[in-house]
Structure 1
């Protein structure tokens, strides 16, 4: 089998070659729906559960491309993943996926069982179950994947139960006891398994043990769910007590196999008796009831333990707080929850847990929802504040039960003192009522469990700042912050719609600074409402004052945001509180457990435990599997706590440890694919936490992608903390990923701050390094003169320091902006000098760049033989040192030279081979350049439509990469293609766009080509205008020493002959 999901994700029959979490989630989603199209939106939601980035679709395409490549390395054809108009699907054979084989074999086993071929059925069940290697998709998180995995795990359990039925028929009971005992311990609420264990024990002569299994199961069901065992399980118990065959007269009486799902006697769902007769009250931990029905079961008359009147005589109870009139937002959540509850039917008990961070509006939502659903539950509307996060401490379950019973009208003297008796009375009182219960501000599962009604027709809404993961059979709704539009609407309802409409931009900024948190918005809106002379902009100004704690603005009378956060913080264990404070020092958008371990000095395991605690407390959000973030206001709170509670040297050391970890991880990852190979020499030394660096570096580029948003804040933090060496070295370590990925704004920000750090240190080497890499960004942005100026600074520094290697690299880099400025001969001279210096020091790291840039220079001058010579030399070096990216880039360059020479077949074979490699390396710049060259050759071969397709792709790649010069080239080349296709108007527009952009960035060659293209478009209709444009183009071509000047001269001469009437 090629794929395995019945256990950890497996590809190619071995351990999965897919290691990045995002890739694994996408592949898992496709395999869970094998043969079906999985919509792009579903994949985006699976990967980014709490809100995808704007680039999500593009990242998903990259992810699928990478998956195809990885599958190929595992011997799986790349076209297994098929792109459709609406999404992606995997096309596999019937034996390629273990889950499909399992499904088929289970169907065969069921068919054999239906035909009463028990031996064949048993063998087939065993073979099917042997395919499982552990829980489905073990190790993968994410709600969508876990839903699919949970379905598969349930199918496994059903197959196990069906297999045991067959085995029991075959008489192998004794061999089944140990296996069934283990499964019942792991799945105590599966009554079918428990019944099968009882039958196996009874068949082995161990009837007393079988009855003990029933009793323990009954206690679990009553204690955790408040229900009695089902009819089938009770029937086995009855037969055991009576001394009958526990399997009954018919073998089909094994639990869970009744055709109608009814217990003997016709009672649906395994109820104890007619509701009019009584309800079960036994609670786990309470005294064993006695009576005529024996020790296994007891009922209580509906008059209640203390003689309460029957429900029909009781007046309705209404104890809900007033719903907030300005409830805003969450409309989709409210609508979905209402539909789920209403579709559940009137007689189905339901429990919903609404959890979220402090101030997210949990209570407001619960009360709003309860008020809206109130008419469905006419008998009682109950509400209790469990004080889970209160300075007074949480209510005990017994105290909460007393409060709820009093709301039902039970006098205090009739409320039992014993906890178990209170639970029994509570559930008895609600057994025949249609009641709605709101349990607000819950602290824990243990606090809530005894308060859950057992009767059908009750709805319980629980709110908590913690995830109550221990509650079985409930539905959870986690609240995030509001959407921006909802947040502004809430502010308007509180502060007044006219004020908000008058200052929409200021209002948007207020809610942004509130982090879209409902409580923060309410407090900010209340301040505006109580200060009618304030403009909204005044509040924005106060929220932005650096010398005033922002959190202080979120306070009205005795209600503050700080108090809300403080109550959650106070309930954390001391070590976890310290971790929370350390997180306030992290300046970025998100972090992983390794970063937390670095900040805190904890082990990875301890960091994970602390994060789990903080996530459960809703002080930290897990935004993706293994990626976490703090809400902006929570981060400010944590940072303020750190200043108060932790000494300044401790805080600074924590920051240094974080920077050290990030720096050395970036070096370890980037050094593996950076062509120059000098990164390790720029950042010497060893990491303080090599264990963390090793774990993170295994993620490769995935780690760099995840941390990119943190890079600018980290470099700024290093400068602010005076940790200057980390500032400039961290910028340098991330240069290639920013450059190749087209993240030029971040490149300039990091290296500008890095330059400040190097200058503060007086480190000339760091200053030269920052200028050198800033020049690369300026070049791609079309700021060619600025790029050249920066490199002149670099040259001056290296000359003063006598650093020949640095000098050779600077001269080589200087050649590129000079060429774009039209100073091609001067550029070639600098390139030749840089190459000579590199050869002088045997610097093979600089030689490849020198050779490729020199090849481009020779090609621009029409010296094609020289261009081929130096590019072939570069190819030899690249192969010698195993640099696949350099090999691909050089092949593309050689192909481009062949294209200029008219050797089109040789050109295309090399360029398409190079393109396949470059696309796997995510080098958008090189890919765009190569697509431009391929398109030019396609056009020269008489295929303008193919050429246009390549140039459109090049234009898109250059836009993604932010390469303005490359965009100009692509527009000019695409204009030529469209002109050949007869789309002259579109071509003219593209050339004008190129001319405008090239003039703005002073790109002389593309200015000339744009003028050339405009002239060609105008030639048939306006020869005079065409002549003017060609004349201007010729002047620029001559200045740039471009061989294209000869073709323009020929066209001008041809035009002049046509005007003079000379056919030539």
Structure 2
């Protein structure tokens, strides 16, 4: 059937976000299937306000598994696809309805994160049946654990994923499907810490960063609570040992946990054990035929047997060898068998000869990229992240990565993102060590780390251009820096890259790249602050501080100490920040560095206000401004805020107002509209405290308007509450109640946990409306 002739479903029958996205896809097909790039150019001018839209942002709207929809983007997209006003209104109503239903009915809690079940899955009939029999125990008094053990490359992951998909297709485990790579045997990365894994799992289950406990036991308890009673399957892949696994096991008998490991996990006494061996010859030949062609295998049975024997019947090696055959239609099977028997394995694992053959037949550029992947700090890769360390353009890197994917030397779970099996990563590392000098290998790592610093910095500055950031060379990022024009675009990008960026920080610190070890956390700080992830921000800055001191860059210790101070203040621990700030202040003064000494004075002002000494805070704030001005530098906006807060604490509202007005004026000039919205809210609150209701109302109204434009729901709701207080104090009770209701309705379309977090912030706000 021609997809373009399919009709869009009755929107009244659409039940959830998944069905809504499917309806959008059909609408796009009916409109002629315009490319995402073309459609983005049509949608951007229809947004409010109009803006340039990237094709990747638009394509995300059509992505399966979404849990939230941008209402403005949906309506603009529908209109760009040819819908008239009546149809646009119907789509708008349906979008609101499915998001509300998702929040109320809990459908958003359905999480589907399994890797794909590959069409090349072969054999393992007895193992699959054994695992399915074990699943029959789900519903027993305890959670069912099935542990799949075996050597690297034997197919443990594919078996676990296949079984999970078989069960899901049969209607089991519809609530939650989770997958975690515990990286227990990755040659270049430490095994994943259980606490970090739990944070990731909780975030996938809808828990916000600020709600994730810091203690491992508390995280495990919260995870068990969120999984209780859920029809859930969890794959814990590549487990290092039982210690790593135990905190990740839910307690509900409705859950199934599939664990894979190269080691025996006999300490998990409650687990059902499944030992996985290499393929039988029949299974290995079947996989060879499935990839390379059954007719070719049948035509040369003796050569086929030689190939799988040389691969040690190891599924990963057979897959790589078969892919080599598929790419060489002119080869006979005997040609490959001869090559494999001539090669000597250069890796300790079985199948190294198959890797050798595939690697040595690659074009030089693909070989280079493969070696770079053996050194790359990322957990997964994009063309942009590989281009810089390889010294290629993103287009050249993408071409090489696709070639490696075609050769089965890489894996892909998500379009545009690549992963490498740890055996192949080890082999790539061997090739890098054999073919590159130590200086060349360190240069690859340095370029990779510098790329991460540059691209995260540029993304943060695109959203908040008035921030003071350490200088970077934009050319390092090339054309790979995302063209983010709002937090709505930049924050999802950071969320996708966050695990890789965190890993880059760890690699920089471990291998002594001190400059990157502090610059990268500084670049990340904006996003961690935006997500209110203050615990992680404190951890990052605490780790960065010694590297900043070693590096000797005056920006380093200054900026890291200031961010550490900010994170501690967010926890109510401002007193702990005074000593490191004072140490940096003394060093900057001794060096005659007024600009950085002034910034440190501003952070000390914030710390002293935090411990209840606003008089001393004001002294430091004013001294900091004076010091910076005398040094000829611009005063950072944050210092204006610190000064205003100190004055307000002392009841000197008029003086604070002058500074607040200056802050908003500067933010407008810098086009930092989120800061404008925040500044207007603070001005309005000041007016409200002075009883200047008309001016307060006008400032709150403008703050609300700007907050809506930039998508900051918290400032929007807080300003609505402030407006409600203003109306109440004027005696307009009915209007005040209406505005207070609006403040709560701002969060109506969010996932339940996110809405609860923001409502808790509103309730803690000084402007919370209470009857």
- Pair 1:683 & 2:465 matched: no
- The correspondence of residues 758-837 of structure 1 with structure 2, limited to 5 A, is 758-837=548-627
Partners in 2 of 1:708 and 1:665 — Cα distance?
A: 12
- Cα pair 2:412 2:419 within 8 Å, conserved: yes
**Is the aligned partner of 1:875 residue 2:664?**
yes
Q: Note if contact 2:388-2:447 (Cα within 8 Å) is conserved in structure 1.
A: yes
Task: For residue 895 of structure 1, report the CA deviation from its aligned partner.
Answer: 1.0
Residue in structure 1 matched with residue 183 of structure 2 by the alignment = none
**Equivalent residue runs for 1:661-680 within 5 Å:** 661-679=451-469
Is the CA contact 2:722–2:769 (under 8 Å) kept in the aligned structure 1? no
Specify the alignment match of 1:726 in structure 2: 516
Alignment of 1:24 with 2:24, yes or no, is no
SS, match of residue 733 in structure 1: helix
Match of 1:709 in 2: 499
Preserved CA contact (<8 Å) 1:935 1:951: no
Aligned to 1:505: 246
Contact 2:466 2:672 in 1 (8 A): no
Q: Give the alignment of 1:539-938 within 5 angstroms.
A: 562-563=349-350, 567=354, 570-572=357-359, 573-574=361-362, 575=364, 576-631=366-421, 635=425, 638-639=428-429, 642-643=432-433, 646-679=436-469, 682-684=470-472, 686=473, 690=476, 692-698=477-483, 701=490, 703-841=493-631, 843-846=633-636, 848-921=637-710, 930=719, 933-934=722-723, 936-937=725-726
Residues 128 and 163 of structure 2 are in contact (CA less than 8 Å); yes or no, is this contact kept in structure 1? no
Distance 1:774 1:368 in 2: 43
* Partner in structure 2 of residue 947 of structure 1: 740
Indicate which of 355, 359, 373 corresponds to 2:155. 359
Quote the Cα distance in structure 1 between the aligned partners of 2:71 and 2:358: 44
- The answer to whether structure 1 residue 971 and structure 2 residue 764 are counterparts is yes
- Find the residue that maps to 1:888 and give its secondary structure: helix
Q: For the structure 1 residues 673 and 840, does the alpha-carbon distance in structure 2 shift closer, same or farther, using more than 3 Å as the test? A: farther
How big is the shift at 1:362? 6.2
Conserved in 1, the CA contact under 8 Å of 2:721 and 2:769? no
> How far off is 1:655 after superposition?
0.6
1:100-119 aligned within 5 A: none
Query: C-alpha displacement at 1:831, in angstroms?
Result: 2.2
Tell me what 1:323 maps to: 125
| Superposition pairs of residues 166-565 of structure 1, within 5 angstroms | 323-325=125-127, 327=129, 359=155, 485=233, 505=246, 521=261, 524-525=263-264, 535=267, 562-563=349-350
* Equivalent residue number for residue 35 of structure 1: none
Give structure 2 stretches of 5+ with no counterpart: 1-26, 45-50, 102-121, 136-152, 167-230, 251-256, 272-311, 317-348
Moved more, 764-773 or 926-935: 926-935
Aligned in 2, Cα 1:625/1:699: closer, same or farther, shift over 3 Å?
A: farther
> 1:7 corresponds to which residue?
34
3-state SS, counterpart of residue 418 of structure 2: strand
Query: Which structure has the bigger radius of gyration?
Result: 1
Residue-pair matches, total: 540
- Asked whether the 8 Å contact 2:528–2:534 carries over to 1, the reply is yes
Compared with structure 1, are the counterparts of its residues 804 and 961 closer, same or farther at alpha carbon in structure 2 (3 Å cutoff)?
farther
Instruction: Provide the rounded CA distance (Å) in 1 between the counterparts of 2:237 and 2:40.
Output: 53
1:324/1:368 contact within 8 Å kept: no
SS across alignment from 1:722: coil
1:659 CA drift (Å): 1.4
Residues 463 and 484 in structure 2, CA contact (< 8 A), matched pair in contact too: no
Change (3 A) 1:756 1:623: farther
Q: TM-score, normalised by structure 1?
A: 0.43
* Contact 2:677–2:715 under 8 Å retained in 1: no
Contact conserved, 1:935 with 1:948, CA < 8 A, in 2?
Answer: no
Shift of 1:644: 5.5
Shift of 1:656: 1.0
Question: Residues 323 and 367 of structure 1 are in contact (CA less than 8 Å); yes or no, is this contact kept in structure 2?
Answer: no
TM-score w.r.t. the length of structure 2 is 0.58
- Displacement of 1:654: 0.9
- Shift in Å at residue 612 of structure 1? 1.3
SS of equivalent to 1:86:
helix
| Aligned-residue offset at 1:766 | 1.5
Aligned to 1:299: none
Shift of 1:593: 0.1
Aligned partner of residue 478 in structure 2, secondary structure:
helix
After superposition, give the CA deviation of every residue in 1:873-931 in whole Å (9 maximum; x if it has no partner): 33333344444333322222211112212333432332232234335546677567656
Q: Take 1:610 and 1:694, find their aligned partners in 2: how far apart are those partners?
A: 18
CA pair 489-22 structure 1, distance change in 2 beyond 3 A: closer
Give 3-state SS (helix, strand or coil) of 1:85's partner.
helix
CA separation of 1:67 and 1:968: change in aligned 2, threshold 3 A: closer
CA contact (8 A) 1:18 1:70 kept: no
Whole-angstrom distance in 2 between the partners of 1:889 and 1:67: 27
Deviation by residue 1:219-265 (Cα, 9 ceiling, x = unmatched): xxxxxxxxxxxxxxxxxxxxxxxxxxxxxxxxxxxxxxxxxxxxxxx
Higher mean C-alpha deviation, range 782-791 or range 320-329? 320-329
Whether the 8 Å contact between 2:314 and 2:350 is mirrored in structure 1 is yes
How far apart are 1:611 and its partner, in Å? 1.3
Query: Whole-Å Cα distance in 2 between the matches of residues 778 and 974 of structure 1?
Result: 24
The separation in 1 between residues aligned to 2:411 and 2:394, in whole angstroms, is 18
